[in-house]
Structure 1
Amino acid sequence: MNKINKMNKISKKYGLWFGVAALAGCTSVADMVGYDTAALNEGAERNYTQVVQKARSQNALDVSSPTAQRVHRVFSRLVPYANRANRTGIPFNWQMNVIRSNELNAWAMPGGKMAVYTGMVERLQLTDDEIAAVIGHEMTHALLEHSKKAIGGQVLTGLGGSILAGAVGLDGNLVGVGTDLLATKPFSRHQESEADAGGVRLMAQAGYNPQAAISVWEKMNRAQGGSQVAVLSTHPANNTRIEAIRRMLPEVMPVYHQNKR
């Protein structure tokens, strides 16, 4: 099995962190069963360490390429603004790793543990501004605790399984999570829209051009062959996202012009 296939397996296993949110708005339920912010962040940190170690063992951890250097540079500029936007009550220990894989992928675990796949940058030929759009989007998912809210929703549905408990080291009897749901359901439309908006604001504050968030989705359109299907009726179609970002430009462009370097 080649390195990319191995990393694809990693991404499917740990993709629950950015693909888990089919149901939202249940943070208090998640708290009630023990999924408080601190515990979830600690579990994610342990899991993230395993992901990084696995990538390193397969020589898939990119620490020195020009792509990796660009990702880390953009990430470092965004972190101070992400910290200011943190309303969880728990400081995040932001970390970024770049994974050598052909996948168009990037994700953030609870507590700010992140990865960008080289395929996202290199296949789409992303500019630094576009990298900032991707990272800002994923940061916002973590800042708004979308994974935590999804856990609360799954408690309410009573779905069976313990995949999440195994991943974050929590008691599997506390909550059931359906394997199929974790494997297939993306964040809700509302959560994706929140992440788009928050990411655009973060990149503008850090001095990256918010218009690049539009060009990222235009490139994704081309990479997907122009498909505009809203996946499982939860993901906004790319053109819908582009129009929503355009409507934000009068708000965020002055912020960008004030902070651009």
Structure 2
Amino acid sequence: MTLSSISRAFSTAALVALSLSACTTTTQQGATGITRSQLLLVSSAEVETMAAQSYEKELQSAANKRALNTDKANLERIRRIADRLIPQVSAFRSDALAWRWEVNLETRDELNAYCAPGGKIMFFTGIITKLKLTDDEIAAIMGHEIAHALREHGRERVSQAYAQNAGLGIVGAITGMSQGTSALLQQAAQIGLTLPNGRGQESEADIMGLELLARAGYNPQAAVTLWQKMAAATGNSSGSFLSTHPGNAQRIKDLQAAMPKVMALYQQAKRNPAPSRAIVPRS
């Protein structure tokens, strides 16, 4: 066996060992029972810092264009909805209550919204106005995006990119011999935080989001009407919000299958509304 083949074998074995040791889950099961193990090679703090920097850049860019939080009526709507949804995150992870949550609205035609790692939410006006969303449907989108953050799907994608691209750098990180680990992490972050979520992550966020929706007292059936509106607006094509999402028919089928798990939570929330949590606005 040559030296290079020995190195490759050692690298592969080390990568497998590190991957196995890093498999965990970021959330409790909740009523919907999400239990998938995740590959998490980088820390939450690292990913949240990088995501916060990206979020700040987007806010600054929108502010420079005079497009940040200019639609006061819809800004108030999404912040009011977030105030009801955020307390429900404790069903999946109590530490998320302490995140520095933020909700902003950019005047932009795209059918898009996201929640960055650490609780930084952004909606684009296009998704609200073009689809004529009800509060329940806005909550369905927001619950879905919050679920991505709770499950740390961004951190998971960074870890996957790191594992795929590190090679011998992983070995160096284990043995302390590498000088390029930081550069590898930065490269992985650029890949992982900019790539869209995978279909499995999207399906996971759908079901967890449905539970958040129900616990906050919003009608879970709004998740179905939302995707019906999205399908009609896009002609079942893949816009930015839909690029890796499951097909609308399958998504609706999966949501309807999960309804029995969350309807009792919704009815309970309607009878006994949970206290909301006021988000301190940026401006």
Question: In which range does the TM-score fall when normalised by the shorter chain?
Answer: 0.7 to 0.9
Q: 1:195 aligns with which of 177, 184, 205?
A: 205
Residue 149 to residue 67, structure 1, CA distance change in 2 (3 Å): same
AA partner of residue 146 (structure 1): H
AA partner of residue 74 (structure 1): I
Residue 59 to residue 235, structure 1, CA distance change in 2 (3 Å): same
| 1:1-80 equivalence runs, <5 A | 25-27=38-40, 29-30=41-42, 36-80=43-87
Give RMSD over aligned pairs. 2.8
Contact 1:105–1:119, Cα closer than 8 Å, also in 2? yes
Separation in 2, partners of 1:126, 1:118: 11
Residue 181 to residue 95, structure 1, CA distance change in 2 (3 Å): closer
Separation in 2, partners of 1:226, 1:110: 28
AA partner of residue 38 (structure 2): G
Contact 2:203–2:251, Cα closer than 8 Å, also in 1? yes
**1:253, CA displacement in angstroms?**
1.2
Is 1:118 equivalent to 2:125 in the alignment? yes
Q: 2:143 aligns with which of 120, 136, 145?
A: 136
**1:126, CA displacement in angstroms?**
0.4
Indicate the residue corresponding to 2:225 in structure 1.
Answer: 215
Contact 1:78–1:202, Cα closer than 8 Å, also in 2? yes
Residue 56 to residue 158, structure 1, CA distance change in 2 (3 Å): same
| 1:161-180 equivalence runs, <5 A | 171-177=182-188
Percent identity at matched positions? 37
Structure 1: gaps spanning 5 or more residues: 1-23, 31-35, 161-169
Contact 2:69–2:106, Cα closer than 8 Å, also in 1? yes
Contact 1:101–1:119, Cα closer than 8 Å, also in 2? yes
**1:87, CA displacement in angstroms?**
5.9
| 1:216-235 equivalence runs, <5 A | 216-227=226-237, 235=245
Separation in 1, partners of 2:204, 2:189: 25
Q: How many residues align?
A: 220
**1:143, CA displacement in angstroms?**
0.4
Alignment deviations for residues 171-208 of structure 1 (CA, whole Å, 9 cap, x no partner) = 4343534978876x521111111100111000100000
Separation in 2, partners of 1:89, 1:113: 12
**What secondary structure does 1:115 align onto?**
strand
Alignment deviations for residues 103-159 of structure 1 (CA, whole Å, 9 cap, x no partner) = 000011110111011101100000000000000000000000001011111112218
**1:258, CA displacement in angstroms?**
1.2
Residue 98 to residue 248, structure 1, CA distance change in 2 (3 Å): same
Contact 2:158–2:192, Cα closer than 8 Å, also in 1? no
Structure 2: gaps spanning 5 or more residues: 1-36, 168-180, 274-283
**What secondary structure does 1:235 align onto?**
coil
Is 1:238 equivalent to 2:248 in the alignment? yes
AA partner of residue 25 (structure 1): Q
Separation in 2, partners of 1:53, 1:227: 31
Contact 2:107–2:126, Cα closer than 8 Å, also in 1? yes
**Rg larger in structure:** 2
Is 1:249 equivalent to 2:256 in the alignment? no
Alignment deviations for residues 201-220 of structure 1 (CA, whole Å, 9 cap, x no partner) = 00100000000000111011
AA partner of residue 84 (structure 2): R
Q: 1:154 aligns with which of 139, 154, 161?
A: 161
**What secondary structure does 2:187 align onto?**
coil
After TM superposition, the score normalised by the length of structure 1 is: 0.76
**What secondary structure does 2:223 align onto?**
helix
